[in-house]
Chains A and B, each alone.
Chain A
Amino acid sequence: NAGVMQNPRHLVRRRGQEARLRCSPMKGHSHVYWYRQLPEEGLKFMVYLQKENIIDESGMPKERFSAEFPKEGPSILRIQQVVRGDSAAYFCASSRDRSGEAFFGQGTRLTVV
């Protein structure tokens, strides 16, 4: 039973390019969370999705960031026109239900040059 799978593990983008981060939840999990972690800082909530629905995007920056979790396929976190300040580790977590334990993927480390 594979855990939460994120890819790519490392992503380098030039300023102004787009970054697409993918997350496949654990089997049987339909709740997905995205978190961002800056160096030496804690995890900051970005968005919570269930299949085909964005439930809470209160932690997402208003511009350039979007997320989806389609009926088929992984959840995608998309960052348009990346800037240096977007460099961070982006972690995805999944849970079976709303109150259950969440399990994290290995993260995608985005570097904007």
Chain B
Amino acid sequence: RKEVEQDPGPFNVPEGATVAFNCTYSNSASQSFFWYRQDCRKEPKLLMSVYSSGNEDGRFTAQLNRASQYISLLIRDSKLSDSATYLCVVKGRGANNLFFGTGTRLTVIP
């Protein structure tokens, strides 16, 4: 079983729509959770960390469900510039590396 699993999409949504991505992780001892964004042929960029209490940054809301071992990302009022691949990233306690999902591709349509 993969460490991190995501629906690859693609998700094609109109501007202004709300879209949500889910991601599941296999290691219950995982401690740190992040969402990264990757544009085509560019490096991954940290979008936000995911805290146990959930967190919000403008139009983006991330939540963590430890019992079910999944994290989510909600994007409200989608913009064309939100088009990218969104990567779910998990790190276990004492783990030496970040485990990346394969990413969910989002295209926001005018």
B22-76, CB < 8 A from A? 31-32, 34, 41-46, 49
Q: Are A101 and B102 in contact (CB under 8 A)?
A: no
Q: Which residue of A lies closest to B94 (CB)?
A: A98
Q: Are B103 and A42 in contact (CB under 8 A)?
A: yes
* A107 at the B interface (CB under 8 A): yes
Question: How far, in Å, is B85 (CB) from chain A's closest CB?
Answer: 9
Q: Which residue of A lies closest to B91 (CB)?
A: A99
CA distance A107 to B41 in the complex (A): 9
Q: Are A104 and B44 in contact (CB under 8 A)?
A: yes
Q: Are B46 and A103 in contact (CB under 8 A)?
A: yes
Q: Which residue of B lies closest to A106 (CB)?
A: B43
Contact partners of B81 in chain A: CB under 8 A: none
Q: Name the interface size band of chain B.
A: 20 to 34
A106-B43, A107-B43 given; A42·B101 CB < 8 A: yes
Contact partners of B103 in chain A: CB under 8 A: 42
In this complex, which of B41, B44, B91, B96 has the most chain A Cβ atoms within 10 angstroms of its Cβ? Answer: B96
Contact partners of B46 in chain A: CB under 8 A: 101-103
* B100 at the A interface (CB under 8 A): yes
CA distance A89 to B42 in the complex (A): 9
A42-B103, A99-B31, A99-B32 given; A91·B43 CB < 8 A: yes
* B11 at the A interface (CB under 8 A): no
Which 7 A-B pairs have CB atoms at the shortest separation, nearest pair first?
A: A56-B96, A42-B102, A104-B43, A45-B97, A43-B100, A48-B96, A104-B44
Binding site for B on A (CB under 8 A): 33, 35, 41-43, 45, 48, 55-56, 58-59, 89, 91, 93, 98-99, 101-107
Binding site for A on B (CB under 8 A): 31-32, 34, 41-46, 49, 87, 91, 93-94, 96-103
